[in-house]
Each structure stands twice: as structure tokens, then as C-alpha cells.
Chains A and B, each alone.
Chain A
Amino acid sequence: MSPDADAHDRHRRLSPAPVLDLDPLIDDPGTRIVVCCGSGGVGKTTTAAALGLRAAERGRKVVVLTIDPARRLAQSMGIDSLDNVPRRVKGLDDSASGELHAMMLDMKRTFDEIVEAHADAERAAAILSNPFYQSLSAGFAGTQEYMAMEKLGQLRARDEWDLIVVDTPPSRSALDFLDAPKRLGSFLDGRLIRLLTAPAKLGGRAGMKFLNVGMSMMTGTLGKLLGGQLLKDVQTFVAAMDTTFGGFRTRADATYKLLQAPGTAFLVVAAPERDALREAAYFVERLAAERMPLAGLVLNRVHGSGADRLSAERALAAAENLEAVENLEEPRIVDQEGGKAGLRNSPDTYGSSESPASEAPAPDEGSPADPKNPSSERTEKGRSADPADRSVDQLTAGLLKLHADRMQLLSREQRTRDRFTALHPEVAVAEVAALPGDVHDLAGLRDIGNRLAAGRPELPETAVDRPDVD
């Protein structure tokens, strides 16, 4: 067990990871592609959309390529139709004269377009009506990855945008997305495709007799396995692929190189949960192995607390204390602050509950309440009457328990993060504070963008003094 797993040792910190500063990255005209990758359910698409919006409002001409956005998120950007074409997003602050375009990847459409672009009409029609092609292109697992790469290459080649933000498919594993171009490329170069496509070619060449025998055995086997019609379909399809997709290998290689180029930045997106961060660590290692430029880690849904100096343990003890008061009708004081406790009803408190409530809080008397929240002053509750006091005690105990939960969550998140940082101290991290609700509109995305750029969750000043601050 690693030492940082000690639940009680929450004050000890590893040296913090460097902060990922996203504004310089998206402002830099040299940054042309930002790829957001990570496991499913960590807010990858939202991060991509929020970054795209932020970059556009800071003056860049951006296109966001999303793969499979939640409907509400897509609608928030005004793209609810799957038409595979970048659409201009309206409602932006365009004072910096930037633009935001967004599109959703339609796999089948993208596949069809490649065929149409690279084959003459007759051949294209033959491919498009091939049952094997139809089944493959409609998007079994895997096709998405190829098509996302293909679309990225296309968008980049059009050179209409100066920044492309890509959301990656929710892959089974990190490998699929990076491997897609290579895998297809090596398949097209492989021997199987020769075998399937060129029995005639092989036959005539000297020294190929052995292969030819092997080949017919193979086609025989495949025929037996697949059924004659399907084998013919596969052969037709593969032959068509080979001739029309001649350029695919070249393009796949080019896209791969594009991803390695200095103008590309990878962002690994995660949430402070064990599985998501494990996957993130894997992505980081994988990107390094492929020499892909990693900008840093975006850690979504990080929780904070404005009162993080009040530990879970103390909050629970205090809550118990309040509940004990309730039961005994007698204040029992756990004095952990040396004399600061036990101020209930003491004359020097400013407690406005003692004074008649009024619509307009007097500047001196009502002031402990949040001035932004005058409604808390309007109530008649909280007078010295016992039942009200008791319900306040109960409520306060509830607030403290809620806080204890929050603090436990915080320390759990911190431990998971520390584990990642211990493994990859070099990776810069941008933390995004958790939102209580979901994002539905541009304002929500903008909010996330602000949080992204802040790099650390912005929290109000903490309250209770603690001598041992880091």
C-alpha cells in the first residue's frame, strides 16, 4: 500500500503538480489542433466545447469536432442535426472577432464521402451498395475512430479554421484512437488484402506457386467459413477499398504525423476518481510512447470547500455536540478552541436573532448574514424560544454533517490525485470545480471555460484558522 493512502494524513501533500495554464495555449496562433482524450463519462465533450467557445471568444476562428455529444450539450451549441458539416454557433461574444463552428461526426456519411471523392461514380455506387460495406460503415466499434481521424485530416486540410478542437470517441481503450490510422494502413499494405484482391495477379508470377496454393486453400477456408456470397461481397469490397483508398494510407500517415507536430496539443481529461485517473495515466504514457505532444491533464469535477480548514472529524464532533445539546437541553461544550466556545447567549455576540427581525437589516446588527442574501433576515424564526433554537441546532448539525461528507470526498479526491501526480509529476494539471448541475447553454459552457482557465477551483477564503497550513 502506498503511503499516501493513509486516510488520516490529509494535511500531508506531495509537491503539487504544475498548473496547466490553458489561455496561453489556446491564444497561441501556433496551436492549431487540440485533442481531448480520456475515458468515458469524464466530461470530455463538454471540455472540448467549453475550450472551443473560450478560444473563439478570445478571437480565434475555431471548429469543434464532437463525436457523440449528449443531446442537451449539442443543443446548447445549436447543433441538433447530424449533418456532418461544421455549423456556425450563434450567440457568441464576438467582440474579439472570433468564430465558433461545431459539428457532430456522422460516421457513415464521412465514410460515404471518402468513397464518393475517390472513386468514379460507377465504382462508388457499387461500393455503397455492397452489403459488407454498408454494415462496416454504419459504425461497428472501431469505425468511429477511423472516421474521426479522417475528418480531422479533412478539416485541417481545408485550412478554414485556425484552431480545431477534437473530442475523441469513447473508445474501449486508449489504443484504438491512436492506432486507427496505422492499423488501417497496415491492413491495406498487408498480405491479406493481396490475397483477397489479386488471385489473378499472383498466378502468373514465377516463384509464387506455393503462395498460390496457400491462397486457394485460404479462400477455400474463408468460403467455407463465411459462405460463398459473403466471401464474394468481402472480396468486392476489399478490392474497391484497395483501388479507391489508395491514398488512405498516405492520409492516415499524414494525420498521424499531424498529431505529432508542434501545432498539436493533447489534453487528457479525467475526473478525480480512481478508474478515470488510471486511464488518464495510461493515456499519458501512451502519448509519450507515440511522441505525441501532451499539454496536460484537465481534471474535471473537483470538489472544494470554503471551510476546508474545518476537518471532517471536528465537524462530526461538533454535530454530535449539537445533537447532544438537543437531547439534554443543556449546552455541553467541547472546547477545542480554548475559550472561544460557549458563546451562546453571551452578551458580546452580534447575533441578530436576538433583535427583532426587520426587512432592512441594520448595518451593525444584522451583518453576520450574507448581505447578498437579505432573505435570511426576514424570518421571525430563530428567536430565543427553545423549539426554534433546537431546530437551528438540528439544522446546524445537518450542515456540519454535510460538510464532513464534503471533506471526506475532498480527501478521497486528493489521494487519487496524489497517486497520479506521484506517477507523473511532470504533467501540468488544470482543475475544474464541480458544478452541482448539468450544462445546457453557452453561458454554462462559458462558465466551464472560466473554470478551465483558472486552473484551480476558485474558492472563498477559508474560515477557521488552522496553525498547520501546508
Chain B
Amino acid sequence: MSRLQVVSGKGGTGKTTVAAALALALATEGKRTLLVEVEGRQGIAQLFETEALPYEERKIAVAPGGGEVYALAIDPELALLDYLQMFYKLGGAGRALKKLGAIDFATTIAPGLRDVLLTGKACEAVRRKVKSGRFVYDYVVMDAPPTGRITRFLNVNDEVAGLAKIGPIHNQAQAVMRVLKSKETAVHLVTLLEEMPVQETADGIAELRAAHLPVGRIVVNMVRPEVLDGADLELVRTTPRSAVAKALSSAGLGGARRGGNAEKLVDPLVQQAEEYAERYALEHEQRSVLGELGLPLHELPLLTEGMDLAGLYELATELRKQGMS
């Protein structure tokens, strides 16, 4: 099991939710995981129903069986000062740089540097050990940028190593790339059973593979339960509406006569079934597209009551059951 689990996905597919559920799922049997947020959205705090996370690793959840989940929202500016302090003992100079706008420059105008800091910080957490030589975190789960940017994001250090051909930045960049391209890392992609996210997933996997980044698994999120199967849908097409009206009527929903309440329900109900049929066909098609990508596939159910903390534990249990942790 890779120790750095990177979770990406198209916007709107719920990658933050999946990353959080995975962090919970991995924190079994006294294990400790760190859930890292890099996009400054405070999505993790919202999911775990806590106040906004500071730039500091703090415990946000206890997993069933005694494991612990820590969370960290990386702030690029503070990460840079941190980094300067760590490598060059530049506390005061760091503040001066900030005054001059150099920190702004590094973290916003030259956003590549921001990605360097974000990936660097995550890799540092992966490698960090306590005195006894044991890793501080058994797993680090990263809620990463969306699929469209993930390869460039993870590969930024290659680019930096090419720009800064010597010096500490070069060395640091190469160290980060060694972690990211090793078996220590797995990049998972979250998708929905819809055309665009599936297409983006396929493109994303091709890009990751071309960049020699380790692709992990595909997580299909928000899968709706199958209410009617193919045979039922065929039956919808062949059953006279009057028969449905009668059945509705017998179930206590009004008259089956034309204009009766049960009869008036038939058209909208059949229309909903037709919409369902269209989506059903589309979902099957997308599932087979995903199947052809040759990666382990996991499915998480759509939570009908919306996403909350209880739902998060439910998804974590599901991931564990499916062997993703």
C-alpha cells in the first residue's frame, strides 16, 4: 500500500469527500493518517464540521478501531517561510522578503513555485519520522488539484529541477520527484458515471502514465441505486398505460379512469422512467469505458440524505469493505 495517496478528479465529482473517506478508511487499527488540503478551500473543515483549519497538523477525527486522522491545510505563503526556515534558517530574511513582495511573487505570480511548495510539504510529511525511526504518519492522503491539472501539479518539480540546474532547490525538487514517481505514491481519480468526467478521467490517466506517475485506482462516486433494471425498463415500454393506471389505483392513489388521479400519474411516472432509462443506458456505457482503462474500480453510493459526517464514515466503511485501504 502506497504511503502517499493522491486523490484527484474533475470538479464536482466529490474528490475532497473521497479523500477524507479514504483517510478515515486508512486509519484503522491504531494507524495514523494525515489528510492534506492544497487548494485553500477549507473543504476538509466543512466535511468534518470543524472550524477552518490553520496551517498546522491537527487531529480532526478518530476512526473506528482507534486510528487517528490529522488534517493540514497547506498555506503556500507560510509553507514558503517554513521552508526557508527549515533549509536556510532565514527567519528574519524571510520576513524581509515578505515585505518586499518576494513571497507574493513566489506564491502567486510564479505559481509553479507554489506547486513546488505544496508537493514538497506533502512529501516532507510522508518522509517524516519520530526519533525511534518510525514514520509519524502511516499514510498521507492528499486532496489534490483537479484532473485537468494533476499531472502538471505533480510534475512541477521535474520542471523546477530543469530550471534550477544546481543548488538546494534543484536537490529538493529531485528528492520530491523521487517520492512522487515511486511505489510510495498512488494517484487515484474520482469520477461520476457521466460522459465528461469519464472522458477527463481517461485523459488524465493517459497524461499521468506518459509522465511516469503511478496511477492508482478509479473511484466512481455518487452511484445511484438501481431501482429498475433492463427488464423492467423493457416492461415500461410494453405495458399499456391503462394497466399501470389500474395498478396505481389499486394501490390507493385515486381513480384509473381517464382524468382520475391515478390515471393522471401515469404519464409523469412513465416519463420519469424514460429519463431513468436514458441515464441508465448512459451509465452502462460509461461504466464500460471505465472498465477498459484497466485499473481497479471502486464504487461509492450516492448518499440520499446529502453529505454529512455520518455519511463520511459510511463511505469510509465502504472503501474498507472494497479493499481500497
CA–CA, A285 and B46, complex, Å: 19
Q: Chain B 72-104, CB within 8 Å of chain A: the 1/0 string?
A: 000000000000100010100100110011101
Residue of B nearest to A370 (CB): B267
User: Interface with A: B10-18, B175-183, B207-215, which one?
Assistant: B10-18
Task: Say whether B252 contacts A321, CB under 8 Å.
Answer: yes
B309 sits at the interface (CB 8 A): no
Contact with A along B207-244 (1 / 0, CB 8 A): 00000000000000000110110001001111111111
Q: List 30 A-B contacts (CB under 8 A).
A: A41-B10, A72-B196, A131-B162, A140-B152, A141-B114, A170-B11, A184-B109, A191-B100, A217-B93, A221-B90, A224-B88, A224-B167, A271-B12, A306-B272, A307-B268, A318-B248, A321-B251, A337-B261, A341-B253, A345-B246, A368-B241, A369-B242, A376-B237, A376-B240, A392-B246, A405-B304, A408-B304, A460-B271, A462-B268, A464-B261
Q: 0/1 per residue, A411-444, Cβ < 8 Å to B?
A: 0100010000000000000000000111000000
Report the separation of the CA atoms of residues A46 and B225 in the bound assembly, to the nearest whole angstrom: 27
A226 contact from B156, B167, B196, B249, Cβ within 8 A: B167
Q: Which of B102, B241, B306 touches A369 (beta carbons < 8 Å)?
A: B241
A409 to B17, CA, bound (A): 19
Whether the pair A172, B275 counts as a contact (CB closer than 8 A) is no
Give the residues in chain B near A382, CB-CB below 8 Å: 239-240, 242-243
B194 at the interface (CB under 8 A from A): yes
Query: Is B256 interfacial (CB-CB < 8 Å)?
Result: yes
Q: A-B pairs with the 4 shortest C-beta distances?
A: A40-B11, A41-B12, A306-B268, A227-B167
B148 touches A68 (CB 8 A): yes
> Interface code B244-270, partner A: CB below 8 Å = 1, 0 otherwise?
111111111111111011111111111
B195 and A318 contacting across the interface, CB-CB below 8 Å: no
Which residues of chain B in 267-296 are interfacial with respect to chain A, using CB atoms and an 8 Å cutoff?
A: 267-273, 275-276, 278-279, 282
Known: A192-B102, A218-B102. A396 touches B251 (CB 8 A): yes
The CA-CA distance from A388 to B306 in the complex, in Å, is 38
Number of A-B contacts (CB under 8 A): 340
A377 to B243, CA, bound (A): 10
From 295 to 325 in chain B, residues with beta carbon under 8 angstroms from any chain A beta carbon are 304-307
Stretch at the interface among B36-44, B53-61, B130-138: B36-44
Q: Smallest Cβ distance from B106 to chain A, in angstroms?
A: 10
Flag A381-408 by CB within 8 Å of B: 1 or 0 each: 1100000110111111111111101101
A residues in contact (CB < 8 Å) with B: 7, 39-42, 68, 70-72, 131-132, 135-136, 139-143, 170, 172-173, 183-184, 186-187, 190-192, 195, 214, 217-218, 221-222, 224-230, 233, 271, 273-276, 278, 305-307, 310, 314, 317-319, 321-322, 325, 331, 333-337, 340-345, 348-353, 357, 366-370, 373, 375-377, 379, 381-382, 388-389, 391-403, 405-406, 408-409, 412, 416, 436-438, 460, 462-465
B249 close to A229 (CB less than 8 A): no
Contact for B265 among A186, A310, A393, CB less than 8 A: A310
Tell me whether B1 is interfacial, beta carbon within 8 Å.
Answer: no
Select which of B40, B170, B257, B270 is within 8 A of A349 by beta carbon.
Answer: B257
Known interface pairs A218-B96, A306-B267, A464-B265; A379-B239 also in contact (CB < 8 Å): yes
Q: Verify A136–B254 contact, CB threshold 8 A.
A: no
The residue in chain B whose Cβ has the minimal distance to the Cβ of A217 is B93
Contact among B10, B105, B235 with A187 in the assembled complex (CB-CB below 8 Å)? B105
Measured CA separation A253–B261 after assembly (Å): 62
Contact status A333-B252, CB under 8 Å: yes
Contacts of B239 in A (CB 8 A): 376, 379, 381-382, 392, 395
Q: Which of A40, A322, A403 contacts B251 (CB 8 A)?
A: A322
CB pair B249–A368 under 8 Å, yes or no, is no
Contact between B249 and A343, CB atoms less than 8 A apart: yes
Q: Which of A139, A222, A464 contacts B253 (CB 8 A)?
A: A464
Instruction: Give every chain B residue within 8 A of A368 (Cβ-Cβ).
Output: 241-242, 245, 256-258, 263, 266
**Residue from the list A217, A318, A335, A369 in contact with B240, Cβ < 8 A:** A369
- B68 in contact (CB, < 8 A): no
Tell me which residues across on chain A come within 8 A of B275, comparing CB atoms. Answer: 436
Please name all residues of chain B whose beta carbon is closer than 8 Å to the beta carbon of A322 when the two chains form the complex: 247, 250-251
